[in-house]
Amino acid sequence: MNVDDIERVTVLGAGSMGHGITEVVALAGYHVTMRDIEQDLVDEGYGNIEWSVEKLTEKGLVDQDPAEVMSRIDTEVDLETAVENADLVVEAAPEKMALKKDIFSDLDAFTHEDAILASNTSSLSITEIATATDRPEQVVGMHFFNPPVKMDLVEVIYGEETSDETAETTYEFVESIGKTPIYVRKDVNGFVVNSVLGPFGDEAAWMASEGVATVEEIDAAMVHRRGYPMGPFELSDLTGIDIGYHVRKEAGKPIPPIVQEKVDNDELGQKTGTGYYEYEDGDGTTYEAGQGEDVDTLRIEARIVNEAAKLIGNDVATAEAIDTGMRLGAGFPEGPCRRADKLGLDTVLDKLNELYDEYGDERYEPSDYLVSLVEDGKTGEDAGEGFYDYGGDSGERHYSTINYELSEDGLLEIELDRPERLNALNQDLMDEVVHLLDTTPKDDVRCVTFEGTGDRAFSAGADITGFAGIQPHEVEVTELFDTVAKYPRPTLAKIDGFCLGGGHELALACDLRIATEDSEFGFPEIDLGLIPGGGGTQRAMRMLTDARAKELVFRGNRIDAETAEDWGLINRAVPDDEFDETVEEFLDDLVYGAPIALEKAKKVMNEGRDQDLSAGLELESQAFGILLSTDDMMEGASAFMEKRDPEFEGK
């Protein structure tokens, strides 16, 4: 079955995953039936969706009539009626194998023969679930993260018999509902995200059990030094300490003493009021920045990387899929493979070997794939190749935070691709843009555009989570803005959503800015005890009146796109449905315009602005003189006389 053949979707289960998936599918425009075993459950799920859609609309995150979204959802209690017309069924029933098998056996009987049968299980074998049917090739894992409305990731899991066609259609379906799929090519326990996340909590628990560091120190180190959104113990308190305990038990893995103790005392985390921290009689987490300076964070990260390497070596997932999974599914600040390439795979391997020698425990045993990379000299970014290629011996450099496309006509479109952080600028992203602009032959490029991925932001600024522990000499922010500002081709920022801080500065470093009406602009740095550091204060002063520039920088408030246009900060603020067309109109002039003239115009306008009038005029007349002798000028004049469009070649 093709993704275009999917018209009717049925979700089984109206609990937190079931109703969340139903909501996401309905928001994407599909007709969906939500089924649970009792009317009360279905009604409750339906009510939850109604509430959530209402909330999303209020917040401006969804631009649809809530009643219309709800009208696409039917509810049902009878299984056969619920699925008889379905092209895709997503099962989100409780995690019990016997129950799932019963359901899939019924699905096999009740659905039409082409229907895809997907399970949202997070822990059970797709292969085994599929044995309950006579069409295991049409059974697939489709693992959403909680809450589905907010979490962008979906793991698409192959059972042993799953056909490529089924997996590919499922993958495309996930894309069609605005989520990001990754392939999990083998049905391994924990799939990708939970497998790689495992050591985050596990190694931390061993370290605390041994007494090499305290719970607070480890959490502080992972959050404040390494940029994770939560510490391992904080995370464990949130998900429930018993969950990780049972996962280890089932996998036959040893239990760290500190975990055993918590489970024995029924201190399971937030849900029992006490876990590693006190929630009922205390204020929750108590760790602070600066507490974990001596914690050996590599011990945790080396195990995470090792787990990722095992998956790659076993053909379960690619480095890219793993990194996407960990960023979107677990909130990692960057993917573990990318991080490992920066740490040095030899450093990671040395740490594992050291731990293996010391403890003799298999959890430290280096994976074959990691060993082979290091043996082949592929030790990471410095070596030119590691998990990824950095333009070493072979091929192009891999970019982890941007996407780009260069058209034959010379339009270079750059997407800032960190939607999970509202495209916040981290060092990688800034380096990658600079590298791309520096290495793409200038003659191939006529114009550059920048935009953000996801539907919320151009960019919400510098990545605040990367600020912790950073030393002033390590900060290299100006290079990006300088490179963009001085780029010899016209640059245009396509702004749809938040355009803040460093993102705003990137937009100001561009020559032109077009925004959707619901975009917002601001310099929130002052609220962080900072000032814009990528040219924002200076460019704003030159572009706006003193009063307006200082209002933006001093107050840290956001202004809407209409005000930004009014103030002269952007070229156009347009409604959503006119955005692409307006951008196209600009690009038409920039991409097919006379390249040398555009280059000179940019240069004399930028450089002349900061000089007195006579020096500026001198720059202008020199450039004018040069242009008079170009082929482009001849072409422009001939085309005018011959009443045709000019074809400039940049000569």
Q: By the criterion CB under 6 A, which residues form the site for ligand COA?
A: 229, 331, 421-422, 424, 460-465, 498, 500-502, 524-525, 528
Enter the tokens of residue 204.
């931390």
DSSP 363: G
Query: How far apart are the C-alpha atoms of 291 and 213, rounded to whole Å?
Result: 10
Q: How far is the CB of 504 from ligand COA (least distance, A)?
A: 8
Active site residue 385: no
When the beta carbons of 238 and 633 are compared against ligand COA, the nearer one is 238
Backbone angles phi and psi of 158, in degrees to 5: -80, 130
Residue 434 near residue 451 (C-beta atoms within 8 A)? no
When the beta carbons of 85 and 465 are compared against ligand COA, the nearer one is 465
Hey, is 635 helix, strand or coil? helix
| Residue of 451, 505, 520, 565 marked active site | 505
Q: What angle do CA 7, 11, 15 make, to 5 degrees?
A: 150
Residue 309 near residue 352 (C-beta atoms within 8 A)? no
Q: How far is the CB of 516 from ligand COA (least distance, A)?
A: 15
Query: How far apart are the C-alpha atoms of 642 and 639, rounded to whole Å?
Result: 5
Strand locations in 274-338 (E): none
| Partner residues linked to 380 by β-bridges | 385
When the beta carbons of 348 and 416 are compared against ligand COA, the nearer one is 416
Give which of 358, 448, 355 is closest to 406, Cα–Cα.
Answer: 448
Q: How far is the CB of 462 from ligand COA (least distance, A)?
A: 4
When the beta carbons of 56 and 140 are compared against ligand COA, the nearer one is 56
| One-character DSSP codes across 83-140 | HTT-SEEEE---S-HHHHHHHHHHHHHHS-TT-EEEE--SSS-HHHHHTTSS-GGGEE
| Residue of 385, 420, 451, 525 marked active site | 525
Q: How far is the CB of 460 from ligand COA (least distance, A)?
A: 4
Residue type, 480: L
Q: How far is the CB of 338 from ligand COA (least distance, A)?
A: 17
When the beta carbons of 181 and 524 are compared against ligand COA, the nearer one is 524
Hey, is 326 helix, strand or coil? helix
- Which residues, 6+ apart, have CB-to-CB distance to 543 below 8 Å? 508, 549, 568, 569
Distance of alpha carbon 130 from the chain centroid: 31
Query: How far apart are the C-alpha atoms of 285 and 280, rounded to whole Å?
Result: 12
Q: How far is the CB of 523 from ligand COA (least distance, A)?
A: 8
DSSP 255: P
Active site residue 525: yes
| One-character DSSP codes across 594-613 | -HHHHHHHHHHHHHHHTS-H
The angle, 0 to 180 degrees and rounded to 10, between the axes of the packed helices 241-250 and 257-264 is 120
Q: How far is the CB of 299 from ligand COA (least distance, A)?
A: 25
When the beta carbons of 262 and 421 are compared against ligand COA, the nearer one is 421
When the beta carbons of 312 and 549 are compared against ligand COA, the nearer one is 549
Q: How far is the CB of 386 from ligand COA (least distance, A)?
A: 25
| Partner residues linked to 177 by β-bridges | none
When the beta carbons of 539 and 602 are compared against ligand COA, the nearer one is 539
Is the preceding peptide bond at 147 cis, omega within 30 degrees of 0? yes
Tell me which residues are annotated as active site: 505, 525
